[in-house]
């Protein structure tokens, strides 16, 4: 059976894969995502450390600047300029690295999610394929049941019988010696018929359709 293959992130596979193959692919890509998350966490720690170091240096240089002004010395000194530039560059680089990790993690997460979606789609296809003939039989049986129950109820109405009389004639014991042993079965049958009649009423009110047994 031909199936339309959905887009799967950066995956280039266009051949049909079985559910088991997709599960293996998901496991592989999920493991990769876990490693990437760990790397992103490390990049985040590096970025935070670089920012703290820059703050510490700026605070330290602010004090040195104050001393320079107090002592009427030139500011900033070459050493201060070099240290500040290096710290700022380190922060910029760490932030860029962190952003790259975050974007890559997002793309990888999309790949994993897409594979999961494909697995669910394949499962639903298999479910629907197996369900189709059983669904057809069920709806046919339901149609026949509702139609037959409606016909019986119309006959009851035409003869002026009430529901209790109909129930007695439909589900009376097979013989006078019959006991309550078969009562659960008769009760279940009556419940099914009542449900079929209720369904017919609902269908008539909602869709204007009436079942008639052929």
- Give the pLDDT confidence score for residue 177 in this predicted structure: 56
Phi, psi for 22 (deg, rounded to 5): -65, -35
Cα gap 62→210, rounded to integer Å: 89
- CA terminus-to-terminus distance, the chain: 36
How confident is the prediction for the chain on average, in pLDDT? 84
Cα gap 96→110, rounded to integer Å: 21
- Give the pLDDT confidence score for residue 5 in this predicted structure: 45
- Give the pLDDT confidence score for residue 14 in this predicted structure: 39
Q: Picking from 5-14, 137-146, 193-202, which range would have the lowest pLDDT averaged per residue?
A: 5-14
Percent of the chain surpassing pLDDT 90 = 51
Whether the per-residue pLDDT at 56 is higher than 70: the answer is yes
126 vs 106 pLDDT, higher one: 106
Banded pLDDT at 194 (limits 50, 70, 90): confident
pTM, two decimals, is 0.63
| Range 86-92 average pLDDT | 97
Banded pLDDT at 8 (limits 50, 70, 90): very low
| Range 84-112 average pLDDT | 97
Cα gap 94→47, rounded to integer Å: 5
CA distances from 99 to 44, 95, 196 (A): 9, 6, 62
Q: CA torsion, points 170, 174, 180, 183, in degrees to nearest 10?
A: -30
Sign of CA dihedral 143, 146, 149, 153: negative
C-beta atoms surrounding 25 within 10 Å: 19
Contact between 149 and 196 under an 8 Å Cβ cutoff? The reply is yes
Banded pLDDT at 59 (limits 50, 70, 90): very high
Sign of CA dihedral 174, 178, 182, 185: positive
| Range 94-106 average pLDDT | 98
Cα gap 195→189, rounded to integer Å: 10
| Range 86-114 average pLDDT | 97
Cα gap 84→9, rounded to integer Å: 42
């Amino acid at each position: 059976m031909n199936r339309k293959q959905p887009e799967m992130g950066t995956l280039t596979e266009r051949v049909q894969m079985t559910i088991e193959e997709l599960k293996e692919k998901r496991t592989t890509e999920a493991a990769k995502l876990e490693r990437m998350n760990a790397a992103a966490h490390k990049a985040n720690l590096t970025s935070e450390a670089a920012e703290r170091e820059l703050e510490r240096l700026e605070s330290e240089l602010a004090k040195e600047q104050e001393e320079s002004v107090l002592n009427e010395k030139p500011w900033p000194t070459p050493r201060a300029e070099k240290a500040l530039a290096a710290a700022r560059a380190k922060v910029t680089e760490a932030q860029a690295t962190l952003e790259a990790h975050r974007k890559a993690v997002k793309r990888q997460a999309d790949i994993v999610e897409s594979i999961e979606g494909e697995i669910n789609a394949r499962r639903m296809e298999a479910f629907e394929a197996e369900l189709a003939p059983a669904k057809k039989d069920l709806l046919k049986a339901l149609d026949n049941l509702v139609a037959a129950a409606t016909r019986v109820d119309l006959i009851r109405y035409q003869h002026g019988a009430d529901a209790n009389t109909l129930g007695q004639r439909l589900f009376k014991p097979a013989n006078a010696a019959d006991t309550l042993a078969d009562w659960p079965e008769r009760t279940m049958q009556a419940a099914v018929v009542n449900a079929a009649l209720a369904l017919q009423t609902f269908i008539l009110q909602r869709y204007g359709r009436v079942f008639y047994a052929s």
